[in-house]
């Protein structure tokens, strides 16, 4: 049985894509400046998001596609297997929606870590 310690939530609005992976569309970027944790392994275990009607989005960890979803207007994600992250990794939400619509998506993510993982204990968790 795992002992989870909450790391709180993070909220961002979309911005014009600067990655060149989603040119002309909204991108939401959760990087180390947003995650602000140095736990060797932590989890993104819940997501709530809102975007333009009819939009969809893809989720990437760094340059690897992690998930895709056709309901980018209003959605929630609470998987049985959370997204495992390590310090320095970036999570991107690439929306199908063009920035010209002036409707940036909004994403809230919830983070936690498992205290029973030895590396997390040794890191002071």
Give me the percent of the chain exceeding a pLDDT of 70: 98
pLDDT over 90 at 70, yes or no: no
- Helices marked H in 1-125: 32-35, 118-122
Provide the pLDDT for residue 125. 63
Residue 70: how many other CB atoms lie within 10 Å? 11
Provide the pLDDT for residue 77. 82
Average pLDDT of span 40-67: 95
Residues near 64 by Cβ (< 8 Å), separated by ≥ 6?
Answer: none
Which structural domains are found in the chain, ordered by start? 4-122 (2.60.120)
Average pLDDT of span 91-95: 97
Tokens describing residue 96: 């199908």
Residues near 124 by Cβ (< 8 Å), separated by ≥ 6?
Answer: none
Tokens describing residue 91: 């999570």
Average pLDDT of span 12-27: 97
Residues near 24 by Cβ (< 8 Å), separated by ≥ 6?
Answer: 16, 17, 98, 99, 100
pLDDT over 90 at 43, yes or no: yes
Average pLDDT of span 89-117: 96
pLDDT over 90 at 41, yes or no: yes
pLDDT over 90 at 71, yes or no: no
Mean pLDDT of the chain: 93
pLDDT over 70 at 54, yes or no: yes
Give me the percent of the chain exceeding a pLDDT of 90: 80
């Amino acid at each position: 049985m795992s002992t989870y310690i909450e790391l709180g939530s993070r909220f961002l609005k979309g911005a014009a894509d600067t990655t060149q992976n989603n040119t002309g569309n909204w991108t939401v970027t959760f990087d180390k400046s947003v995650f602000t944790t140095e736990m060797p392994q932590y989890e993104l275990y819940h997501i709530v998001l809102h975007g333009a009607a009819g939009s969809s989005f893809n989720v990437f960890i760094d340059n690897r596609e992690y998930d895709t979803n056709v309901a980018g207007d209003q959605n929630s994600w609470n998987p049985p297997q959370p997204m495992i992250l390590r310090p320095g990794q970036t999570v991107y939400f690439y929306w199908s929606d063009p920035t010209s619509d002036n409707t940036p998506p909004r994403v809230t993510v919830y983070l936690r870590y498992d205290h029973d993982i030895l590396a997390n204990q040794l890191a002071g968790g």
